[in-house]
Structure 1
């Protein structure tokens, strides 16, 4: 999730655990620090844009490592403020602020390596977008009210309510995601498409419109299918079929370069949701199909000329659609209107 959300979550958790045992401003500040610390790995360069991507949310997001670090951080904070008698409580509060960071990241589609250092497998539910105001605002309101009221009973109740509402929103996202996946699989079956894997993630900033990407069961099939489902569709036109867009993945190129380090690395990280294209200048471009939508994707990597793939550093050049048309399309789809994504109408 975005930094503001992680700061708000870390502060809310720390205030909830510390209660009136310390100054609320102190709990807010240290909770914000703990909520931010795991993402400091983004400042480390691995010398390659693709490596930087797959090594983010790695060791600093390992639940065991963060749990082991918590007592040290708690003891240092307690000593700093002359509250040594509270070091266990500080350790619990900051430990929860630390571990809820990767657990929240796990709810996004990016891929969080929760089991580091024992496994580098990335985990991602994909039921919440990386920035979602409906998740973040209750946390911010609860923390601010608790801070302004000096952690009196009412302020602490507001903070607890913010945590409750934000957690309930995550539950809503999981339920909505499962519903959309059922709709998508049924639609694919009617189309005669046998899908090996189906990815369902929310479109930006909300959880009403969802993006679906389906990979074919046949490994030689070059196509992938993409559609957008709005929960409002059922109210506006229950009989309307899903609008599927079919695009090429570059299966021949993927198979030819499957052992090249960048291709193998991103394919494993994304569970195969990639495409590989050759441009007019002979360069190969490797794309993560999970984040963005056709034809604009956040993680798009230039592997260089085909003859040098895997032997030169990879650079990133993501493509983002224009904000105005995207916002207009998203608002229309949230109301159940059957409008194609702007990228497919350019």
Structure 2
């Protein structure tokens, strides 16, 4: 089992959102056939079950990352789990006559969890065990209040209002949140078009292009364009006065990729990130970084693969060496950039001045 301090790095859509979505779906399907609190409770339990795999230790940090959202997020596995869970719930509450309805409700609760996770950039292995391909749309951030709050309001209304108005508010929350997902996908496609045009106008031949929202919103978007040797990071806000994108240039470590191409950990990271990764060397240690989650110079998933000798002899397991930005600097920067202000990239923002020690 992984410790509670490490498990949050194996991120999915945040737990509050998944619990709220599960409750909303459970209430919507069960309606007044059972007590609203029962539907909300079991929806919340079903909504969080798939993420319990975050506490399984697969042996090293890279396996822990790439094996998260695997079998526990498989549509096939969850479909097989639903009737067993419905059998248990219907008998626990002595509602055997509602078994089929509980089956439908809990099946929808379970499968909407990985489907929502697929809207983030991490990667969800929906078709395990048939394939370990990590599906990822990447049009919403893992925490987005604009998606969660309508669901939460609807569930609270369903629990508090005794008439059918509560169920109507719950249904409205589901509709609004679903429309928000549709909006995020449409916005992503528009920003992708803008980014491709910017690359073409600047004569940049990019092989890969990642377009994903900055934290907590779908107005400001982070862009990563890759070539075999370099990657560029840029930002575009839907509130920008024009479509010009300023790209910052960074080395991907192509020579190290070629030199260590046989390393199974690099191959696993290349596949899981769909090619959005970089390799670097520090103090004779090899590092591999997932470029999809974070921003220069801080990335959540950066792994120390060890020194050459220790790797050859199997004496070093990959360890997590990721970092997160200083929120005192990052949040004001994101807020200003979201509103269309052309501020210097985070990687070039100077450290705040410190008062001299008396």
Where on the TM-score scale, by shorter chain, does this alignment land: which range? over 0.9
How far apart are 1:134 and its partner, in Å? 0.5
Question: Does residue 26 of the first structure (1) align with residue 38 of the second (2)?
Answer: yes
Q: Residues 129-169 of structure 1, C-alpha deviation per residue, up to 9 Å, x if partnerless?
A: 0000110000000000101114x310000000000111011
Question: Does residue 250 of the first structure (1) align with residue 253 of the second (2)?
Answer: yes
Aligned with residue 291 of structure 1, among 254, 276, 293: 293
Question: Does residue 274 of the first structure (1) align with residue 285 of the second (2)?
Answer: no
Whole-angstrom distance in 1 between the partners of 2:55 and 2:323:
22
Q: Where does structure 1 lack aligned partners over 5 or more consecutive residues?
A: none
Q: Tell me if the contact between 2:296 and 2:346 (Cα under 8 Å) persists in the aligned partners.
A: no
Whole-angstrom distance in 2 between the partners of 1:15 and 1:254:
50
Aligned with residue 231 of structure 2, among 220, 224, 227: 224
Q: 1:192 matched to which residue of 2? A: 203
Question: Does residue 260 of the first structure (1) align with residue 263 of the second (2)?
Answer: yes
Q: Tell me if the contact between 1:209 and 1:334 (Cα under 8 Å) persists in the aligned partners.
A: yes
Question: Does residue 125 of the first structure (1) align with residue 132 of the second (2)?
Answer: no
Q: Tell me if the contact between 1:295 and 1:344 (Cα under 8 Å) persists in the aligned partners.
A: no
Q: 1:14 matched to which residue of 2? A: 26
Aligned with residue 49 of structure 1, among 50, 56, 61: 61
How far apart are 1:297 and its partner, in Å? 0.3
Aligned to 2:207, what secondary structure does the other structure show? strand
Aligned with residue 212 of structure 2, among 175, 183, 201: 201
CA RMSD of aligned residues (A): 1.0
Q: Where does structure 2 lack aligned partners over 5 or more consecutive residues?
A: 1-12, 351-358
Whole-angstrom distance in 1 between the partners of 2:75 and 2:216:
27
Aligned with residue 95 of structure 2, among 60, 83, 86: 83
Aligned to 1:95, what secondary structure does the other structure show? helix
Q: Residues 292-323 of structure 1, C-alpha deviation per residue, up to 9 Å, x if partnerless?
A: 01111000000011333373211002111111
Q: 1:73 matched to which residue of 2? A: 85
Q: Tell me if the contact between 1:200 and 1:213 (Cα under 8 Å) persists in the aligned partners.
A: yes
Whole-angstrom distance in 2 between the partners of 1:307 and 1:214:
33
Whole-angstrom distance in 1 between the partners of 2:203 and 2:18:
42
Whole-angstrom distance in 2 between the partners of 1:283 and 1:256:
14
Q: Tell me if the contact between 1:321 and 1:343 (Cα under 8 Å) persists in the aligned partners.
A: no
How far apart are 1:38 and its partner, in Å? 0.3
Aligned to 1:228, what secondary structure does the other structure show? strand
> TM-score by structure 2 length?
0.92
> TM-score by structure 1 length?
0.95
Whole-angstrom distance in 2 between the partners of 1:254 and 1:307:
17
Q: Residues 188-224 of structure 1, C-alpha deviation per residue, up to 9 Å, x if partnerless?
A: 00111111111000000111100010112xx3xx211
Whole-angstrom distance in 1 between the partners of 2:204 and 2:345:
22
Q: 1:342 matched to which residue of 2? A: 346
Q: 1:111 matched to which residue of 2? A: 123
